[in-house]
A and B are shown apart, each in its own frame.
Chain A
Amino acid sequence: MKRINVAIAVAEEARDRIYEVAAVCRALGFGHTSTLSDIGILMGSAEVEDLPMLRAIPGVIAVEIEHALRLGELRGRR
């Protein structure tokens, strides 16, 4: 089973209990690494097959797989 890095967005109305939401996520297998409380995001990892379960948690509005990012490409740099 593949474990992937994910970001979980917590709903605005659940923002004041983001740590409770995080605890429920952890209980369902979420490997919680950090809480970005000012923007309501939980970072961590999860098994791919657990994603639907995490998305169904009250207060969670989105669970998305982390992307790799790159620079806006430099062209003609010297």
Chain B
Amino acid sequence: MRTHRNAPTAGQAPPAGCTGRSLVLLRERASGAVAALLRHTAGLRVAMSSDFDTARPHIAPGEGLLFERLGAALLRGDPDQTRALALWHSEGAFLLEPERFVRASEQKGAHCGAEPYLADTRAATWGLQATRVLSSPYQGRGIRVAVLDTGLDLRHPDFAGRAVVAKSFAGRPPVDDANGHGTFCAGVACGPQEPAQAPRYGVAPGADLYIAKVLDDNADGTDGSVLAGIDWAVRNHCAVVSMSIGTPVAVGDSYPKVYEQAAARALSEGVVLIAPAGNSSQRPDSIAPVEHPANCPSILAVGAVDQSFTVAPFSNGGLNPRGGDVDLVAPGIAIASASPRPALYQTASGTSMAAPFVAGIAALLAEANPDARGAALRTLLQQAFRPLPAPPRDVGAGLVQAPQ
């Protein structure tokens, strides 16, 4: 039985910063079934938000309001009803959290016990905890993951003895990474089970690592080198491509047709492409649109959240139509991973750090589902999430989760 130690407790005064009402986050958007569950199990009278013209209808004791499009409900139960809901919460039927007061000027408000403020431990980084990687029985064994970036420190002790296939598309070889970004991202996606001198930071330690150096050590690159890297990954039957690169676009811009063609063809060949949403936002004042090439419909766009699952202030949003949305979010603040020697380890923040979490989890899903590749794997990935109380514009479906 799964338990969530931060579920609201019946009969107690609400924690500071909380309203006393409860938020239910549906694991799947089967709104009708959950509404029936709330009615019959907890005896709540549940209305649909679409039936109201007003944005904030009054919710009396014993009543609830179901937001069908968000996959969430707001409830005002008595102690018995809250206790009944807490039981279903602990059974994993849905997530139950106390509703918080929010203020526009305070993006990182009180946690009020609703979400843990996760921290790195001696065993693993907070990102692996948040994405439930540590309890997953899968490691990405036999799955080829391509990381298109600034290369890899091939003599890093955490990758010693690891089979790595590497090729440089960024001018002159070698593929060695003097920048650090590529080593970092490869570490998050496919770092080892037991690093030499750090907590575990890698999602898929069993994956076969394919390193395409598409940016030089100054982090400069072109579409040509990235497209060549994608072509190489397809030719090598990689199931997953992680490419933490991007270029800002304007609101109203369309996606690049050449990249979309490349990504669609890669999908049809069994390869899922994953890219960061971008870091141009300055929330809450301004939100920038998902960048190129993550804005292609056939490329998964990944935003970033912090240790309390709040959207990172820099994380771009789904402002543009036809592919410009955020698909999933992953940990992207204070992420620890590998660094080229002699440092060995570093901590960084950005949607660049979030995208390889999704890539690593794609490898776990690919191991768990040997027949699912390309579009089928992409669909599984889009279903592997924990809902978050934030708009889909900012978090897509929600926080990516490893298969259990």
Contacts and interface: CB of A to CB of B under 8 A. Distances in A.
Contacts of B350: 72-75
Given A7-B223, A39-B262, A41-B261, A70 B348 contact: no
Contacts of B181: 71, 74
Contacts of B258: 7-9, 41, 62, 64
B274 to A, nearest CB: 12
Nearest to A65: B223
A53 interface: no
Contact of A64 (B221, B257, B347): B257
Q: How large is the interface on A (under 10, 10 to 19, 20 to 34, 35 or more residues)?
A: 20 to 34
Contacts of A62: 257-258, 261
A38 B235 contact: yes
Contacts of A74: 181, 348-350, 352
A34 B352 contact: no
Contacts of B292: 67
Contacts of B269: 38
Interface in A21-53: 33-34, 36-41, 43
A36 B247 contact: no
A12 B334 CA distance: 43
A72 B279 contact: yes
A59 to B, nearest CB: 12
Contacts of A8: 258
B346 A78 contact: yes
A62 B258 CA distance: 6
A77 B346 contact: yes
A34 B228 contact: yes
Given A38-B269, A62-B258, A72 B355 contact: yes
A37 B230 CA distance: 11
Given A69-B215, A71-B215, A74-B350, A5 B224 contact: yes
Interface in B241-285: 244-247, 256-258, 261-262, 265-266, 269, 276, 278-279
Contacts of B234: 38-39
Contacts of B276: 72
A17 to B, nearest CB: 15
Contact of B224 (A7, A40, A76, A78): A7
A72 B349 CA distance: 10
Nearest to A76: B349
Nearest to A44: B224
Interface string B74-110: 0000000000000000000000000000000000000
A68 B222 contact: yes
B150 interface: yes
Nearest to B313: A75
* Most A-side CB within 10 Å, residue of B246, B261, B350: B261
Contacts of B150: 71
Nearest to A78: B347
Interface string B157-183: 000000000000000000000001100
Contacts of A5: 222, 224
B138 interface: no
A72 B244 CA distance: 6
Contacts of A67: 222-223, 247, 256, 292
A56 interface: no
Contact of A9 (B219, B224, B261, B351): B261
A71 B346 CA distance: 16
A34 B276 CA distance: 27
Interface of B: 149-150, 180-181, 214-215, 219-224, 226-228, 230-231, 234-235, 244-247, 256-258, 261-262, 265-266, 269, 276, 278-279, 292, 314, 333-334, 346-353, 355
26 contacts: A36-B227, A38-B234, A39-B262, A41-B262, A43-B224, A64-B256, A66-B222, A67-B222, A68-B220, A68-B221, A68-B222, A68-B247, A69-B215, A69-B222, A70-B215, A70-B219, A71-B244, A72-B246, A72-B352, A72-B355, A73-B314, A73-B352, A76-B349, A77-B180, A77-B346, A77-B347
Interface of A: 5, 7-9, 12, 33-34, 36-41, 43, 61-62, 64, 66-78
Given A41-B262, A72-B351, A73-B350, 14 more contacts: A7-B224, A7-B258, A37-B231, A41-B231, A66-B222, A68-B221, A69-B222, A69-B223, A71-B181, A72-B245, A73-B279, A75-B348, A78-B346, A78-B347
